[in-house]
Amino acid sequence: MSDKTTTILAEFAYTPPAVERGYAGQTLYVDVSTPSIAAKPVTEEMKEKFIGGRGFDLWLLWHGVKDGTRWDSPENEVVISSGPCGGITQYPGSGKSIAAAISPLTDVMIDSNVGGHFGPYLKFAGWDAIEVQGKADQEVIVFIDAPGGKVTVEAAPADAPTDTHLLGHWLLEHYAPSADDYPQMSFVTAGTGSEHTRMGCLNFSLYDRKRQDLRYKQAGRGGIGTVLRDKKVKALVVRSFPISGDMNAPADLSKLQAAGASIHKEVATFDPVQNHMRTSGTTYLVQIMDDYDLLPVHNFKFGRHPDTPKIKREVWEELLTQGLPDGCWYGCTVACAHAVDGYEVKTGPYQGQTVIVDGPEYETVAGCGSNCGIFEPWAILEINFYCDTYGIDTISFGTGMAFAMECYEAGVLDAEKTGGLELTFGNAEAALEVLHQMGRGEGFGLIFGQGIRRMKAYFAEHFGADPQFVQDIGMENKGLEYSEYLTKESLAQQGGYGLTNKGPQHDEAWLIFMDMVNNELPTFEAKAEALHYFPMWRTWFGLCGFCKLPWNDVVDPKNKLSPEPQKIMHHVENYRQIFMGVTGREIDYDDIITQSERVYNLQRVLNIRLGKGLREHDAIPYRSAGPVTEEEYLSRQERYDTQLREWLGLNPDEMTLAEKMAAHREYRMDRYEKLTDAVYARRGWTADGVPTPEHLKKLGIDYPDVLAVVEKHL
């Protein structure tokens, strides 16, 4: 058991406070440069205005960074917080953490929502958030030992591995006093891939009592793992107390229990006939997206592929271990966090090892599978395992690889430029070799690991690529790779990806069916209203510690008859009751949106402060709006020709292909600009995307330093 020979570099003694109404009342500040450790109070204003989770991350970052801070500046921070409702066990999906930092990919704040036990355990250990600043001059581990009453920064011994599946076991052995303590331990780690790329993810562990082994959930987006490794932090470790159902000390437990009883019944009744999340997670979306021509195929060129059945839900259901309660936090009856047990690794440094592969989820199957033309489940599992243990985001890897493969097929890359790798669509072995190069920090993997935006510039400068072509096909916005939905026929979702704070991640808004299939958003104003309401509603999950999935992935069919079925108001009411039950604060539906608006707008202002966050930064690559290549146009010619007739009154029979494509481009990009105008107006922003002083005042965040930022842009 505990076998620690580490050197303590800094120590901070404390008595873990009792959590009251969802808050521990203090945040933990760790500067790994000095190193030093301190407690900061959580003020009433923080709770009132920023709630917790992403709101606390933002507040701490706002005060921690400077105007010129970049991802690798010492003052950049890795901040993690769950939220007041994080850690309750009565309602599914109530143990999420939000990790944030200034991103190596976007140079603005990234926030990433993640399961695992770390965030709730951190709170039960006495801290509503952890803020890690500075850069260590040697490898360190930050250890929060609540039962021991201390926080330490320790030198990591040379034998401590870096890749997550090895490091996790090492940490258990060295930091848990005995096997009885394993369930109370949780770690945040990255991996060797995080060290050599900008797309590093964080792994949040949970000790799976049934498997008696560690599992990991990923804060994938935006390179926070890269920031952690840049600080030479090998791991954040928390040892908390044994879990019980009232550790949040809610104001009114009965409200939580009532909401929980109704949702658990709904999940048990309807999941088996709706999405089958309890047997196969989010993979149910693969075939559905293909059916609707929305599954990204070959770098988002197409929306379906004849081989999709090879990677559909039923295939994963066979491979995923069944019958275990796979929630990523206690009490989650949706239990979609599945794993493949006993997987034998086939390539790379861990070839021959038998491991647990966490996932895959829809985004990984679509991104590392269909988008790269890879329809072999073993290859998707292998990429999934190595991305996790190397600390690489599967979405950035998948979308980036799809871009590199199209560049290869278009002649921008060749085997000489890739060091001998034939990066054609479907070549899983070549994709895996790039991944191993990212782990080793060598070869083409180093160029690839910089992300699509920097690959575009590199390919233009060193390989003679046409800058317009790589800009058009490289699916990034703000420097972040797109997540895995085709948006060409949904203007609202083009905005859902582009008109964002952090970049194209679907957790802000997913409006494709409302817009493209139902035509419920026929005007720019209607789209703008949806691009106001849904991003604000979804932001709120990240303030409180909730998972989005139990909101809308399993729903009682009677919801269809409600006045606003898309909002699923009976679930919104559950969340309102839980918030009031935990915090004791009375809120209505408008308050929920206002709480999110404060955070959303301050995050926008932080981006502006960091030199971004304006209209030009919300521009999208043309591939997300329309067909870039003749091949794409011709594959959906009937659709596009009909649109020319109906939308533009043109006769495609009298036009060349080039003229038809040009007409589409002009029309589609003009629409995006008009949508941008409408959304900014609805959000209370100027035409350049800057929150107005009046709007900030209305939200109660017109602090002098906030106003000083926006006033420069009015």
Partner 1 sequence: MTIADLLAQLRYSFPHIIVSINGEVITKDFATHPIPDGADVRVIHLIAGG
Which spans of this chain sit near ligand SF4 (rule: CB under 6 A)? Answer: 92-93, 115, 327-329, 332, 334-337, 547, 549-550
Q: Does 464 bind partner 1 (CB under 8 A)?
A: no
Give the C-alpha separation, 695 to 714, whole Å: 13
**Chosen from partner 1, ligand SF4, none, partner binding at 337 (C-beta under 5 to 8 Å by type):** ligand SF4
Q: From the CB of 578, what's the least distance to partner 1, in Å? A: 21
Strand partners, 99: 80, 112
Residue nearer to ligand SF4 on the CB measure, 166 or 288: 288
* Tokens read off for 490: 């949904």
- 485 touching partner 1, by CB under 8 A: yes
Closest distance to ligand SF4 from the beta carbon of 316 (Å): 15
Choice between 189 and 275, CB closer to partner 1: 275
Site for partner 1, residues 230 to 289, rule: CB under 8 A: 273-275, 285, 287-289
By the rule CB under 8 A, 547 interacts with partner 1 = no
> How far apart are the C-alpha atoms of 419 and 409, rounded to whole Å?
16
Q: Which does 430 bind (CB under 5 to 8 A by kind): ligand SF4, partner 1, none?
A: none
Nearer to ligand SF4, 92 or 498 (CB): 92
Q: Which of ligand SF4, partner 1, none sits in contact with 327, Cβ below 5 to 8 A by type?
A: ligand SF4
Among 294, 186, 274, CA closest to 238: 186
CB of 662 to ligand SF4, least distance (A): 44
Partner from ligand SF4, partner 1, none binding residue 559, C-beta < 5-8 Å depending on class:
partner 1
Interaction of residue 37 with partner 1, rule CB under 8 A: no
Nearer to ligand SF4, 329 or 540 (CB): 329
Burial class for 712, CB neighbours closer than 10 Å (0-12, 13-18, 19+): exposed
In angstroms, how far is the first alpha carbon of the chain from the final one? 61
* Rounded Cα–Cα distance for residues 10 and 31 (Å): 10
| Interaction partner, residue 507 (ligand SF4, partner 1, none; CB < 5-8 Å by kind) | partner 1
Residues 492/515, Cβ–Cβ less than 8 Å: yes
**Phi and psi dihedrals of 311, rounded to 5?**
-125, 25
Dihedrals phi, psi of 366, to nearest 5 degrees:
-75, -45
Name which of 329 and 448 has its Cβ closer to ligand SF4: 329
What is the C-alpha R_g of the chain? 24
3-state secondary structure of 186: strand
3 state SS of 208: strand
Q: Say whether the peptide bond before residue 377 is cis (omega within 30 degrees of 0).
A: no
Tell me how far the alpha carbon of residue 353 is from its chain's centroid.
29
* 77, 163, 326, 507: residue in contact with partner 1 (rule CB under 8 A): 507
Residues in contact with 701: Cβ distance below 8 Å, sequence separation at least 6, in sequence order:
49, 598, 601, 602
Residues 354, 343 contacting (CB under 8 angstroms) = yes
Does 517 bind partner 1 (CB under 8 A)? Our answer is yes
**CA 361 to each of CA 297, 317, 381, 445, 480: distance values in angstroms, whole numbers, following the listed order:** 17, 12, 10, 24, 19
Integer angstrom CA distances of residue 505 from 111, 126, 142, 322, 513: 10, 31, 30, 29, 17
Residue 56 and residue 81 in contact, taking contact as beta carbons nearer than 8 Å: yes
Beta bridge partners, 77, equal: 133
Q: Quick one: which of 190, 555, 620, 675 contacts partner 1 (CB under 8 A)? A: 555
Kindly state the smallest distance separating residue 321's Cβ from ligand SF4, in Å: 14
Of residues 510 and 672, the one with the C-beta less far from partner 1: 510
Asked if 510 touches partner 1 (CB under 8 A), the answer is yes
**Residue 119 or 191: which CB sits closer to ligand SF4?**
119
Rule CB under 8 A: choose which of 149, 411, 565, 611 binds partner 1.
565
Report the nearest approach of ligand SF4 to the CB of residue 541 (Å).
Answer: 10
Binding partner at 329 among partner 1, ligand SF4, none, C-beta below 5 to 8 Å by kind: ligand SF4
Q: Is residue 533 at the binding interface for partner 1, with CB under 8 A as the rule? A: no
Binding residues for partner 1, rule: CB under 8 A, are 273-275, 285, 287-289, 291-292, 485, 506-507, 509-514, 517-518, 520, 552-553, 555, 557-561, 565-566, 568
